[in-house]
Structure 1
Amino acid sequence: MEPDEMATYFAPLLKLELVQLQKDSGETAESRKPVELDQQSVGRLSRMDALQNLAMARAVDLRRHARARAITAALARAEAGEFGYCEECGEPIPFRRLVLDPAFTRCVGCQR
């Protein structure tokens, strides 16, 4: 499959994933709000759990945003006619590699 055909194939999948990431981020916004620590009503372990849950929720959201940036960049490459080419050597990235992750920017050889 040629890179322009791959762009046509993968763009809808990337757009769908981007929409899902945005939806997930919105649905979990409440879990990323600062924790109110009331010393009287909550025990020390409960406060620690709340802080740990907040840190995990924020870390997940950071990964979600990083993935969204990678997808946005892949869609921009598709629009510019650069999708499916290695950013390092300029050779086409194999279809099987892009099936694993359409946002890959390098071929296997250059990724090493």
Structure 2
Amino acid sequence: MFEPLIREELNELKALRERSEGDRKPVELDQQSIGRVSRIDSLQVQAMSKAAEARRQQRVRALEAALQRLEDGEFGYCTECAEPIAPGRLKTDPAATRCIGCAS
């Protein structure tokens, strides 16, 4: 039930990474080809894209860990109290590692 959700999100993250790859490339510093304001704007876009990529990679690691927990038979149990995590919480975030009580 949860594996397809996890795999679907991983595929979406991969597609987002590929689409935004150009935004993370180095910005040309040639003042003849672009003006100063445009270069600053390009640097800001690059910084935001790099930050978004870092968040995506963190999410990918969390989802891959969830897949590993599925394989190990440990998926759906709180890592702190070992109680089951509510199915609704796992539907919302299949990478959740703690029940709502421990997460609070």
What TM-score bracket applies, with the shorter chain setting the length? over 0.9
Match of 2:48 in 1: 56
Q: Kindly, what percent of the aligned residue pairs are identical?
A: 55
- What are the equivalent positions in structure 2 for 1:9-20 lying under 5 Å apart? 9-20=1-12
- Corresponding pairs, count: 104
Amino acid across the alignment from 1:62: A
Amino acid across the alignment from 2:32: Q
Amino acid across the alignment from 1:83: F
Cα distance in structure 2, aligned partners of 1:42 and 1:32: 17
Could you tell which deviates more after superposition, 16-25 or 72-81?
A: 16-25
Cα distance in structure 1, aligned partners of 2:102 and 2:72: 22
- 1:27-70 deviation per Cα after TM superposition (whole angstroms, max 9, x unaligned): 21111111111122322111110000000111111111111111
Gaps of 5+ in 2: none
Match of 2:61 in 1: 69
TM-score of the aligned structures, taking structure 1 as reference length:
0.88
Give yes or no for the alignment of 1:35 onto 2:37: no
Give yes or no for the alignment of 1:84 onto 2:84: no
Once superposed, what is the RMSD of the aligned Cα atoms? 0.9
Cα distance in structure 2, aligned partners of 1:110 and 1:35: 44
1:99 to 83, 87, 91: 91
Gaps of 5+ in 1: 1-8
Cα distance in structure 2, aligned partners of 1:23 and 1:85: 30
